[in-house]
Structure 1
Amino acid sequence: MSETKTLHAAFADHIANALDALVAAGTLPAGLNRAAVTVEPPRDASHGDLATNAAMVLAKPAGMNPRALAEAVVAELAKIPEVTEASIAGPGFINLRLAPAAWLAELVAIAALGADYGRSAMGGGTTVNVEYVSANPTGPMHMGHCRGAVVGDALAALLEYAGHKVTREYYVNDAGAQVQVLARSVHIRYREALGEAVGAIPEGLYPGDYLVPAGQALAAEFGDRYVTAPESEWLVLFRTRAVAAMMEMIRSDLALLGIEHEVFASEAELQASGKVDEAEAWLRAHDLVYDGILEAPKGKTPEDWEPVELPLFRSTKFGDDQDRPIRKSDGTWTYFGADLAYHFQKAQECDALVDIWGADHAGTVKRIKAAVAAMTGAEGQDGKPGKPKPFEVKLVQMVQLLRDGEPVKMSKRAGTFVTLADVVREVGKDVVRFTMLTRKPEAQMDFDFAKVVEASKDNPVFYVQYANARIASSLRKGQAEGFTPSADNLALLGDEEQGLVKLAAQFPRLVEAAAAAREPHRVAFFLGDLAAAFHSYWNLGNDRPDKRFIVASDATLTGARLFLALQIGQLLRNGLALLGVEAVEEM
């Protein structure tokens, strides 16, 4: 990445230098922790261009009055050539007003950094495992999976852009009862492929036609060998082949969204490898698992419930409301026990973990977070409890599919739901991906087929894409008329144009904040704001020809405005790339 500094990074350095000067002068004590010092736009734009809380956060540890410290900091910051005004607000907040040249220089920085404008080293190369989708391998992807898939994939890209090393992981739940049901469902399709009239698929099995090819493949390979054979002879084989076929379908569905995982972790392989037993042994050695009896379930009488001794994880030590069994009474693993072992394995290979789950799993968040806290913070280098590795679970609400406001009928092929592939093929990858990020993942979402392709400002996908297309059109027109984007006369840009630059300059900060919060939707929100600001400026030219990007009578002004347009387009492309969305140039 280029050494060119963005405006906010440069002013973070300016503030650090000002504080260093106060330390050298004896005004501030040396060694103060400055981690909480920030530089950002003030909440009220009328207060200035940038604000810092340096005096507020350092006054107490320095043993100083915040306003007195602020006055000392302001005296240093006022020496910076780009600062036209440095003032104190309230008890010690510092507001800065910058010369227009500072903002115009940021346009040059955008041009110099190009696709790296916004890229950050904040992550410091720390490794983050992002596990997302992880749908049961029992059928094609449906729109219930789509939102989590897009959120996880965009988050992974965002974390990489912010300086982390990211592993994209899919946890294949291929060891539970659902894959046994899948095997039995495929057996019916296998018999059907051999000419048997199987009739309606029995209740409790998977009815979708997507299992027909799997049944046909088994029939072609094994003939009628397993038609009348007892289940014990074919269940494992059919389960293995069916899961493989479903995972191939799932990978294909995800590819339609431009999503690829580096790691597919198998629950069945995890258990067969003994990793779950290793996790239990480790937890017992650290007194985090013990043999005990659960309290009777609420509402049950003693006659309805038989106390059984089970291995219990001490999750109440970490905020859960009760200790949780990791095995069932028959010795098999509970879902929690298997998930605990899976996270035990993941946590050994990364610095931080993020799971993207459907909102229907909200009830298990507390216990799995307790488990990860226990396993990663149980013992530090000195033998004392260590600091748990960062672990977050992001819950994603379901998506309601509509067509002109009416619920969409289910897919005939899938049997019980609308497939992701059907939706992507109808409206396109970019529309699906951007739309999934236009609301916070924990908020309910309606996906209306008519509205997501509507060419209007009420459709955020169209509005952002259209801004980039308008920019591309202006650049093509300028080239055709002999005009070239130029940074030579940026001082000709007025307040309206500088307003666009001020908004664009927030992108690097936004990337870091969104990555730290694990919230990729913030990028989509920013793009919406930037597109709206661009369109507002563009519309000025409808009534005022002197405000158009191309002013035929003024080549120098036209060159400056085209340079501005080129850099706003760069920002749109950078943000869209993080979301996995193409920046189209014609619409």
Structure 2
Amino acid sequence: MDIFALFTTRVTEALRADYPELDAALLSRVVVEPPRDPAHGDLSTNASMVVAKPLGKNPREVAAALVERFKDAPDVESVEVAGPGFINFRLSNSIWHQVLKAVGAQGANYGRSDLGQGERVNIEYVSSNPTGPMHVGHTRGAVFGDALASLMAWSGYDVTREYYINDTGGQTVILGRSALLRYREALGETIEIPSGFYPGDYLIPVGQVLAAEHGRALLDMPEEEAVLIARETALAAMMELIKADLAQLNVHHDVFFSERQLHGAGGDIEKTLAWLREEGMVYEGRLDPPKGKTPEDWEDREQTLFRATDYGDDTDRALVKSDGTYTYFAADIAYHRNKYLRGFNHMVNVLGADHSGYVKRLQAAVKAVSHNEADIDVRICQLVRLLKNGEPFKMSKRSGDLITLSDLVEEVGADATRFMLLFRRNDAAMDFDFALVKEQTRDNPVFYVQYAHARACSIFRTAARDMPELDVSDAALAGAKTELLETAADIELIRLLGAWPRTVAAAAVAHEPHRIAFYVHDLAAAFHGFWAKGKDDPSLRVVNPTEPTLTLARLALVDAVRQVIRNGLGILGVGAPEELS
């Protein structure tokens, strides 16, 4: 039960009744939301200001007519015009009791919706070079992308989680050479790893595999041929290592797309470039030098250029280098055309902080290859600074110069890692303090939320101990007399539960899973406060052996809080423990 959606429908239906000439597009701009000041009521709408001008009326005149339609509604306690024409509603307790019943009835599905109408969305995230284990720099994007995918799936989108494997280019050759050194080491040689190679111990098993499979045969063939063999073995091993690292955070992808599909004769880049020529989207020309410092890769020459400025970019983009190979952007265009041809009109790319300059060019690419039918949202995840008690924290570096994802999860656990990385906007830099994350205090957000769920479960255990004859089954809770919940503390908590469906929908539309983390933290705080009031005021206690009917109603409320916290943590990929040690 989405209170805000319900009243949006009721307000627009009232407008249609009074003004049949209003069209659906205009009415779609009507919003019902919480008022900025809670003292003004439970709901507020801009309806009169949306339609007044097209109707040639004063907004307050339209608002007054709407107020007349709602003033006698049994679930509206009061309704009034405010300011230039806002309408504020204060709802009767009966509607909050309905909300509580809806949470109990819908349970794990409370807050789910068909907002996405089954539209297909491709979310590409992580996509680190397969040259070693996942490190801390990859972790935020992995968690963000996975939570966003869960959020959008919850909201009725058909989501595909995709990982782009950068398995071509110079870094893979270096990986092969590094693996070949470990192969020689496995055969008994003493090796020295040159600067610029991958020094991590994670390549030692790759060398051992090569030695077991090929004996000394790789030493007897041309080095370039041996490097290619070593590269293939290393790439396969690194992808398995990356998948295992991600699994520690419960991150799993549906599609692993190899960059190799783009390259070579008949590859996607060649096909895409031919298509772009047919469409008149490329030309031969020169680029003006960039303003400010000239990058090393800028060339003052006649070259093949994509008309990126026709699609909102700041400059046209080179597609072919002077040596005849394709630019990275040529691969980007081909890859996103591939996504579009696979049926994705909606794409989300999760990139690191050093990719902020990619936003406009990727948007231009998607507009071009889809003839403006598809869209892409590029989400940038800013850097994470590791701290301990406010000071920079150096963890073990078991993989060369890397602080790995495994190190992070081993130190604080998957739940804390995921929640803390989502408890801030993705585009804001953040500090990750290991000491704070391990504290069992209200200052530790993940503990505070999980403790609220555990406390709700503990209240049920208390009820079983103190009132063993009380039936607290799902059926009994569903039949609880929730109309007995009339105190301000009861209604305040239910009102927050009523905001959950709107929160999920808004977070999905905005591609902002941090809103879910903020919400469950707010709900946890409200629940802890509710419990504390019961300690001071016996009439507000949940378990009261002298009041079994009221106790059952309050247990229904506690169960609803427990369920919504569990739903929110589930979207974030965080566990909801019943007890905390």
TM-score, length-normalised on structure 2? Answer: 0.94
Does residue 366 of the first structure (1) align with residue 360 of the second (2)? yes
Deviation at 1:292, TM superposition (A): 1.6
Contact 1:32 1:58 in 2 (8 A): no
Give the distance between the partners of 1:357 and 1:300, measured in 2 at CA. Answer: 24
> What are the Cα deviations for residues 554-584 of structure 1, in whole angstroms up to 9, with x where unaligned?
1122111111000011110110000011110
Letter in 1 for 2:215: G
Uncovered stretches (5+) of structure 2, i.e. residues with no partner:
none
Contact 2:437 2:446 in 1 (8 A): yes
> SS at 1:353's partner residue?
strand
Does residue 266 of the first structure (1) align with residue 258 of the second (2)? yes
Contact 2:333 2:369 in 1 (8 A): no
Does residue 45 of the first structure (1) align with residue 41 of the second (2)? no
Q: CA 1:321 to 1:488, structure 2 compared with 1: closer, same or farther past 3 Å?
A: closer
Contact 2:48 2:86 in 1 (8 A): yes
Deviation at 1:509, TM superposition (A): 0.5
Q: CA 1:31 to 1:118, structure 2 compared with 1: closer, same or farther past 3 Å?
A: closer
Contact 1:130 1:353 in 2 (8 A): yes
Q: Equivalences for 1:274-289 in 2 at 5 Å?
A: 274-289=267-282
Q: Which position in structure 2 is the counterpart of 1:393?
A: 378
Deviation at 1:299, TM superposition (A): 7.3
Deviation at 1:449, TM superposition (A): 1.8
Give the distance between the partners of 1:436 and 1:105, measured in 2 at CA. Answer: 35
Picking from 110, 123, 126, the partner of 1:130 is 123
Q: CA 1:338 to 1:562, structure 2 compared with 1: closer, same or farther past 3 Å?
A: same
Picking from 534, 541, 547, the partner of 2:534 is 541
> SS at 2:331's partner residue?
helix
Q: Which position in structure 2 is the counterpart of 1:426?
A: 411
Contact 1:549 1:561 in 2 (8 A): yes
Contact 1:32 1:62 in 2 (8 A): no
Picking from 431, 440, 443, the partner of 1:455 is 440
> SS at 2:163's partner residue?
strand
Picking from 299, 302, 308, the partner of 1:309 is 302
> SS at 2:164's partner residue?
strand
Which deviates more from structure 2 when the two are superposed, residues 163-172 or residues 409-418?
Answer: 409-418
Deviation at 1:489, TM superposition (A): 2.4
Letter in 1 for 2:322: S
Letter in 2 for 1:314: R
Uncovered stretches (5+) of structure 1, i.e. residues with no partner:
378-386
Letter in 1 for 2:398: R
Give the distance between the partners of 2:182 and 2:100, measured in 1 at CA. Answer: 62
Does residue 405 of the first structure (1) align with residue 390 of the second (2)? yes
Q: CA 1:211 to 1:559, structure 2 compared with 1: closer, same or farther past 3 Å?
A: same
Give the distance between the partners of 2:223 and 2:364, measured in 1 at CA. Answer: 39
> SS at 1:450's partner residue?
helix
Q: Which position in structure 2 is the counterpart of 1:383?
A: none
Q: CA 1:318 to 1:31, structure 2 compared with 1: closer, same or farther past 3 Å?
A: closer
Give the distance between the partners of 2:257 and 2:23, measured in 1 at CA. Answer: 49
Q: Which position in structure 2 is the counterpart of 1:6?
A: 2
Deviation at 1:15, TM superposition (A): 1.6
> SS at 1:141's partner residue?
coil
Does residue 71 of the first structure (1) align with residue 76 of the second (2)? no
Does residue 221 of the first structure (1) align with residue 206 of the second (2)? no
Does residue 529 of the first structure (1) align with residue 522 of the second (2)? yes
Contact 1:23 1:30 in 2 (8 A): no
Give the distance between the partners of 1:85 and 1:68, measured in 2 at CA. Answer: 18
Q: Which position in structure 2 is the counterpart of 1:575?
A: 568
Deviation at 1:405, TM superposition (A): 2.9
Give the distance between the partners of 1:150 and 1:451, measured in 2 at CA. Answer: 19
> SS at 1:43's partner residue?
coil
Runs of 4+ in 1 over 3 A off after TM superposition: 28-32, 296-301, 304-307, 483-488
Q: Equivalences for 1:455-534 in 2 at 5 Å?
A: 455-480=440-465, 481-482=467-468, 483-485=470-472, 486=477, 487-493=479-485, 494-534=487-527
Letter in 2 for 1:227: L
Q: Which position in structure 2 is the counterpart of 1:166?
A: 159
> SS at 1:456's partner residue?
coil
Picking from 114, 128, 142, the partner of 1:121 is 114
Contact 1:410 1:417 in 2 (8 A): no
> What are the Cα deviations for residues 176-207 of structure 1, in whole angstroms up to 9, with x where unaligned?
211111111111111111111003x1001111
Letter in 1 for 2:364: A
Give the distance between the partners of 1:172 and 1:343, measured in 2 at CA. Answer: 14
> SS at 2:217's partner residue?
coil
Picking from 350, 353, 356, the partner of 2:350 is 356
> SS at 1:125's partner residue?
coil
Letter in 1 for 2:350: I
Give the distance between the partners of 1:185 and 1:546, measured in 2 at CA. Answer: 71
Q: CA 1:551 to 1:193, structure 2 compared with 1: closer, same or farther past 3 Å?
A: same
Q: Which position in structure 2 is the counterpart of 1:18?
A: 14
> What are the Cα deviations for residues 275-334 of structure 1, in whole angstroms up to 9, with x where unaligned?
111111121222211122233466799xx9963322111112233232111121111111
Contact 2:144 2:422 in 1 (8 A): yes
Give the distance between the partners of 1:30 and 1:305, measured in 2 at CA. Answer: 52
> SS at 1:226's partner residue?
helix
Contact 2:2 2:502 in 1 (8 A): no
Does residue 104 of the first structure (1) align with residue 97 of the second (2)? yes
> SS at 1:167's partner residue?
strand
Contact 2:2 2:499 in 1 (8 A): no
Picking from 527, 533, 558, the partner of 1:565 is 558
Contact 2:480 2:556 in 1 (8 A): no
Q: CA 1:171 to 1:29, structure 2 compared with 1: closer, same or farther past 3 Å?
A: closer
Does residue 375 of the first structure (1) align with residue 360 of the second (2)? no
Give the distance between the partners of 1:31 and 1:526, measured in 2 at CA. Answer: 31
> SS at 1:227's partner residue?
helix
Give the distance between the partners of 2:29 and 2:357, measured in 1 at CA. Answer: 34
Q: CA 1:496 to 1:292, structure 2 compared with 1: closer, same or farther past 3 Å?
A: same
> What are the Cα deviations for residues 246-298 of structure 1, in whole angstroms up to 9, with x where unaligned?
00000000011111100000001222451111111121222211122233466
Aligned length: 568
Q: CA 1:32 to 1:202, structure 2 compared with 1: closer, same or farther past 3 Å?
A: closer
> SS at 1:96's partner residue?
strand
Give the distance between the partners of 1:363 and 1:231, measured in 2 at CA. Answer: 38
Give the distance between the partners of 1:44 and 1:497, measured in 2 at CA. Answer: 20
Give the distance between the partners of 1:550 and 1:205, measured in 2 at CA. Answer: 65
Which deviates more from structure 2 when the two are superposed, residues 524-533 or residues 479-488?
Answer: 479-488
Q: CA 1:56 to 1:402, structure 2 compared with 1: closer, same or farther past 3 Å?
A: same
Q: How large is the RMSD of aligned CA atoms in angstroms?
A: 1.8
Does residue 416 of the first structure (1) align with residue 401 of the second (2)? yes
Give the distance between the partners of 1:410 and 1:51, measured in 2 at CA. Answer: 50
